[in-house]
Amino acid sequence: MKNQSIRVISLLCLCLGMAHAASSHAAAAKRKLAAGSRPSILLIVADDMGQTDLGIYGSEIRTPNLDQLASRGLMLTSYYASPLCAPTRAMLLSGTDNHRAGEGLMDQTVEGADGYEGHLNDRVATLASRLKKVGYHTYMAGKWHLGYRDEQSAASRGFDRSFTLLAGGAAHYGMVGLRGASAQYRDDGKLVDSLPADFYSTTYYTDKMLGYMKQSAGDGKPFFAYLAYTAPHWPMQAPEADIQRQRGRYDAGYEVLRQNRFAAWKARGFAPRDAQLPDLPPGYTPWSELNSGQQAKSARAMEVYAAMVERMDTEVGRVLAYLRQSGQLDNTLILFQSDNGAEGGFDRGATANDDVALDDIGRPGSWVYVGKGWAEAQGAPYFLQKFYTGEGGIHVPAFAYGPALGVPSGKRNDSLLITPDVAPTLLEFAGADAGVPKEQPDALPITGRSFAAILTGETFTRRRGETDTVGWEHSGHAAIRRGDFKLLWVGGNNPPTAGVGPARPSPAARNPVPAGSTPARASAPARPALNREKMAEGGPAGEPVGKGGPWKLYNLRQDPAELHDLSAQNPQLKSQLLDEWARYARESGVIVKSGVDNAQR
């Protein structure tokens, strides 16, 4: 009887505790959504930034503004993006998987395959349009990479004001685009035919965003500001003064930097003291195999990379200063993430930057890369890099800031979160409906899960438990995760180069003058549409899952570096996860290689 009474009392206490938590959450929601006090939202996305590139994660790069946001906010230590930039951006704005939102294969149309349109499709309602509907100003500055046509522009997908780069990358000075073509920009939906003489991407995007914010300041409406920097995406270019501050910092080489970053990562408690570095990727060139001239150029390229990250931090600082001075910072929820892991896939070995003079690296007109070695240092704790579904390609730095809105300060949360979760989270903060819009009844539903409760300190609610699964796929690289276990498939193909790769512009095209012209009509990269059936056989732009591999099983809590394949010890679990993968692929519309029936179990 006594034990029964204790159980009853315990149950009553539990129910009361849950009721109190629910009541507190409801009260917090009421405070956030009171008239005139809905939070503004600043979403900052870095391009190709590695896990350890900010000071707070163990970097030697000076990033005081972002470090302060992270240290005074909530660090999301188990946050995942896509292995490539456009798929991540599609997930951010749609709240669902990239295969459903139109970026099943980046920059590539696959005929007869819904979700493979090569742009943000019309089957999804965007986060911007949803927030605009409930009274938010909607602003964007930076990289769009979700469509070239007028009807595919940011202005046509819910943004009131926007200045956007259409392609996946471009020179940071002037209008030099990929493979020597003119870079294409839109200003409030209209194609831009010239840029200011002092144009530098990171600074100009910030100028634009600040202009939008100031124009509407004081009108009582909150804003959604999407600041999508192209830093530190190649080519490595930065203001000379920023580069000079890095001189000599990387002369010891990328292997030393990798060890230093990893040691700092562990010292900050992001991994156990006895954690090991992951294996190096195929095609890796040891620092000792570079001659002295190649080492000097490689180190200089990394100096410029660091300068680009520092410049991004400085520009974020300008935005924060304005929000603070204008009294808006306390009512602004800030989210930061990288769009994927560190970029190393376009390395061409020791001779990658041989045709650029040492003193020209980083200046307008230069076109250089850091390559696999430095990318391994940037993503030190994790296996592989951008383009791959290893942890180094999809596990990215992310944090949220908003102490006055209830976001825990100086805390870390290891709940499994994915990029599609952002849209429903922000909609909940805004008091907006995350359901299918009445005016777009055929729209696909949001599949991400709001983590607003985590951001308001209600951490008793975890977004995913031991039975929830999350999947990824792009270009034949795939993964499925359930709880602590992840099944990884590394496909047989290499990173794509057609239309987006590292071929540098000819000397004539590397115009250092930051001005130029674009075609009268925007055009996508010249990549012919693929046929679904041909793609399923193994298309030229990327193998669907079924070639490469085999599938490997990892316990990420015990082995975040993905060093120890547990397939042989856990065949039943592997089989279960393969079934989960098949379900994810079927529900998301992933093109899987013809005839593949999990024979590679």
Give the containing element (helix H, strand E) for 412. Answer: strand 411-413
The percent of residues in the chain predicted with pLDDT above 70, rounded, is 83
pLDDT at residue 34 greater than cutoff 90: no
- Distance CA(462)–CA(415), nearest Å, equals 6
- Distance CA(87)–CA(288), nearest Å, equals 36
Pairing of strands 74-76, 398-401: antiparallel
> For 269-296, what is the mean pLDDT?
94
Cα-Cα-Cα-Cα dihedral sign, residues 499, 504, 505, 510: positive
pLDDT at residue 499 greater than cutoff 70: no
- Distance CA(113)–CA(121), nearest Å, equals 12
- Distance CA(549)–CA(272), nearest Å, equals 29
> For 67-84, what is the mean pLDDT?
97
Structure tokens at 266: 């562990």
Structure tokens at 135: 């009274």
Structure tokens at 396: 């990215």
Half-sphere exposure of 69 (CA within 13 A, CB side): 30
Amino acid at 129: S
Least confident of 2-6, 162-166, 258-262: 2-6
- 3-class secondary structure, 224: strand
Please give the pLDDT value at position 143. 98
Closest Cα partner for 65 from 79, 82, 46, 48?
Answer: 46
296 to each of 20, 273, 291, how far by Cα in Å?
Answer: 61, 33, 9
Closest Cα partner for 64 from 231, 314, 260?
Answer: 314
The yes-or-no answer on residue 564 being catalytic is no
Whether the Cβ atoms of residue 372 and residue 383 lie closer than 8 Å to each other:
no
- CB neighbour list of residue 597: distance below 8 Å, 6 or more residues apart: none
Cis peptide bond prior to 397, omega within 30° of 0:
no
Q: What is the CA radius of gyration of the chain?
A: 23
pLDDT digit string (tens) for 364-422? 999 999 999 999 999 999 999 999 999 999 999 999 999 999 999 999 999 999 999 99
The yes-or-no answer on residue 145 being catalytic is yes
Catalytic site residue from 25, 85, 172, 233: 85
Cis peptide bond prior to 272, omega within 30° of 0:
no
> For 291-314, what is the mean pLDDT?
97
**Phi (first) and psi of residue 75, to 5 degrees:** -85, 125
Catalytic site residue from 25, 99, 145, 477: 145
Closest Cα partner for 335 from 398, 394, 421, 415?
Answer: 398
Please give the pLDDT value at position 459. 64
Q: Which residue's structure tokens are 């983590």?
A: 451
Least confident of 3-12, 67-76, 87-96: 3-12
Please give the pLDDT value at position 25. 35
pLDDT at residue 250 greater than cutoff 60: yes
Region class of 79: left (phi > 0), else alpha (psi between -120 and 50), else beta: beta
Domains of the chain: 37-190+226-511+527-588 (3.40.720.10)
Give the 3-state secondary structure of 448-467: CCCCHHHHCCCCCCCCCCCC
**Phi (first) and psi of residue 552, to 5 degrees:** -130, 145
The percent of residues in the chain predicted with pLDDT above 90, rounded, is 75
Please give the pLDDT value at position 35. 38
> For 284-313, what is the mean pLDDT?
96
